[in-house]
């Protein structure tokens, strides 16, 4: 049989009570003392004369909620029990000391989706520890109903698994009388647990054990998933921003190219007007009829042609600038909208992280 639960729910104490030993290190606080897989074997008489015995093996796992270990490290430690899993388990004891917490829900998710498979429910017993009224069936039944009403997410296991109530108070306090009373309470709890084990039938050997290493390797916590999602979102935001900025930069380059082209065209027209004026002056000189009045007319035509070229340049430049500005403004609006949308998505992911 194996025991799993978040840190501080009394797995090691329960293992000692079932085995009738002190092989498992108990802890009174929420910090798990179990850092590796621990195993103890013991025998129990199944006949009064002791002629028939049954041999049990108890496996105590590391606390799934141990804050000193990452979830993947916890899974890696549980993975050490693979040799025992290959032989099969008669029962898995899922230990809780009250209402199911988020840690316990995560523990069950790991148990069912990563470590074992959906069949684990059939071989799971919920052990409700630290329940002083464990010998009062009415109190136990009230608590069973409360567990079902308050834990919709775990109804499948609560409805399918047995719920057993025990109380395992410490027996190493400074009060000798209390230790004696607590030891008697633990003996009563042990009788309940041994009776449970006596009714367990079958041998649970997960069919997907061969893939367990791969599942553990690929496992990610909700926090890790959110961090990966946030990282991917930041990467996409950066890429989108760089893409839009690249389009704006290309527009600016295109505008510079067009402005140069317009300026070069204007300079070409001005030069052509100057060349025509010079040619007209040379022709008139060769013909001997270059009068002052003709020179003035030629210069005026040249000046008018230059002015038209400059006016055309300004009109074309203004039109090109307006067109480029409209395109750039559109890209900047798209960039701002995308940034706002990405900001909202990022905040949503960050809010999920805070609640994880």
Q: Predicted confidence band at 71 (pLDDT cuts at 50, 70, 90)?
A: low
What CA–CA distance (Å, rounded) separates 69 from 4?
A: 15
Q: How many helices (H) and strands (E) does the chain have?
A: 10, 6
- Looking at the fold, whether 157 and 29 belong to one and the same domain comes out as yes
Longest dimension (CA), the chain: 150
Look at residues 168, 197, 219 and tell me which one is the last residue of a structural domain: 219
- Looking at the fold, whether 79 and 160 belong to one and the same domain comes out as yes
- Looking at the fold, whether 148 and 270 belong to one and the same domain comes out as no
273-291: pLDDT as tens digits: 999 999 998 988 888 888 8
What CA–CA distance (Å, rounded) separates 353 from 153?
A: 20
pTM of this prediction? 0.57
pLDDT the model gives residue 34: 44
- Looking at the fold, whether 41 and 135 belong to one and the same domain comes out as yes
Q: Which of 69-83, 107-121, 273-287 has the highest mean pLDDT?
A: 273-287
Region 177-205 average pLDDT = 89
Look at residues 189, 219, 249 and tell me which one is the last residue of a structural domain: 219
What sign does the dihedral 326-330-335-340 (CA atoms) show? positive
Mean pLDDT score of the chain: 80
Six-digit token pair at 133?
A: 């009224």
- Looking at the fold, whether 215 and 238 belong to one and the same domain comes out as no
Look at residues 195, 219, 243 and tell me which one is the last residue of a structural domain: 219
What sign does the dihedral 205-206-208-214 (CA atoms) show? negative
Six-digit token pair at 175?
A: 């009060």
Number of domains observed in the structure of the chain: 2
Least confident of 20-24, 49-53, 268-272: 49-53
- Looking at the fold, whether 10 and 52 belong to one and the same domain comes out as yes
The residue segments making up the domain with residue 136 are 2-219
What CA–CA distance (Å, rounded) separates 353 from 356?
A: 5
* CATH assignment of the domain containing 119: 3.40.50.300
Q: Predicted confidence band at 11 (pLDDT cuts at 50, 70, 90)?
A: confident
What CA–CA distance (Å, rounded) separates 339 from 316?
A: 34
Q: Name which of 6, 3, 197, 31 is nearest 99 in CA terms.
A: 6
- Looking at the fold, whether 41 and 186 belong to one and the same domain comes out as yes
pLDDT the model gives residue 314: 92
Q: Could you tell me whether strands 53-60 and 92-96 are parallel, antiparallel, or unpaired per DSSP bridges?
A: unpaired
What CA–CA distance (Å, rounded) separates 255 from 251?
A: 6
- Looking at the fold, whether 121 and 214 belong to one and the same domain comes out as yes
Q: Predicted confidence band at 7 (pLDDT cuts at 50, 70, 90)?
A: very low
What sign does the dihedral 97-100-101-102 (CA atoms) show? positive
43-56: pLDDT as tens digits: 888 777 777 888 88
- Looking at the fold, whether 130 and 189 belong to one and the same domain comes out as yes
- Looking at the fold, whether 199 and 239 belong to one and the same domain comes out as no
- Looking at the fold, whether 18 and 152 belong to one and the same domain comes out as yes
Angle at 155 between CA 151 and CA 156, to 5 degrees: 150
Q: Terminus-to-terminus CA distance in the chain, angstroms? A: 31
- Looking at the fold, whether 310 and 231 belong to one and the same domain comes out as yes
């Amino acid at each position: 049989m194996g025991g799993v639960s978040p840190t501080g729910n009394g797995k090691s104490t329960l293992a000692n009570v079932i085995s009738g030993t002190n092989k498992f290190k108990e802890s009174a606080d929420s910090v798990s003392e179990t850092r590796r897989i621990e195993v103890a074997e013991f025998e129990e008489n199944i006949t009064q004369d002791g002629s028939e015995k049954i041999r049990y093996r108890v496996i105590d796992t590391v606390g799934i909620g141990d804050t000193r270990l990452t979830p993947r490290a916890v899974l890696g430690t549980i993975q050490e029990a693979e040799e025992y899993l290959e032989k099969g388990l008669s029962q898995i004891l899922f230990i809780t000391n009250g209402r199911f917490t988020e840690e316990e829900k995560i523990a069950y998710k790991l148990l069912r989706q990563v470590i074992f498979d959906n069949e684990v429910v059939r071989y799971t017993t919920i052990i409700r520890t630290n329940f002083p009224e464990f010998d009062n069936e009415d109190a136990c039944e009230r608590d069973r109903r409360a567990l079902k009403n308050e834990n919709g997410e775990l109804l499948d296991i609560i409805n399918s698994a047995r719920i057993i109530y025990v109380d395992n108070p410490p027996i190493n306090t400074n009060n000798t009388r209390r230790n004696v009373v607590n030891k008697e309470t633990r003996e009563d709890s042990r009788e309940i647990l041994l009776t449970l084990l006596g009714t367990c039938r079958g041998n649970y050997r997960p069919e997907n054990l061969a893939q367990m290493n791969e599942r553990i390797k690929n496992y990610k916590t909700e926090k890790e998933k959110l961090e990966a999602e946030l990282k991917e979102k930041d990467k996409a935001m950066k890429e989108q921003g760089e893409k839009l900025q690249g389009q704006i930069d290309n527009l600016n380059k295109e505008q510079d190219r067009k402005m140069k082209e317009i300026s070069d065209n204007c300079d070409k027209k001005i030069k052509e007007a100057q060349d025509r004026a010079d040619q007209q002056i040379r022709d008139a000189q060769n013909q001997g009829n270059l009068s002052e009045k003709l020179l003035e007319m030629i210069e005026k035509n040249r000046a008018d042609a230059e002015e038209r070229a400059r006016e055309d340049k300004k009109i074309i430049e203004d039109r090109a600038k307006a067109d480029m500005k409209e395109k750039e403004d559109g890209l900047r609006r798209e960039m701002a909208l995308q940034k706002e949308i990405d900001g909202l998505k990022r905040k949503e992911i960050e809010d999920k992280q805070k609640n994880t």
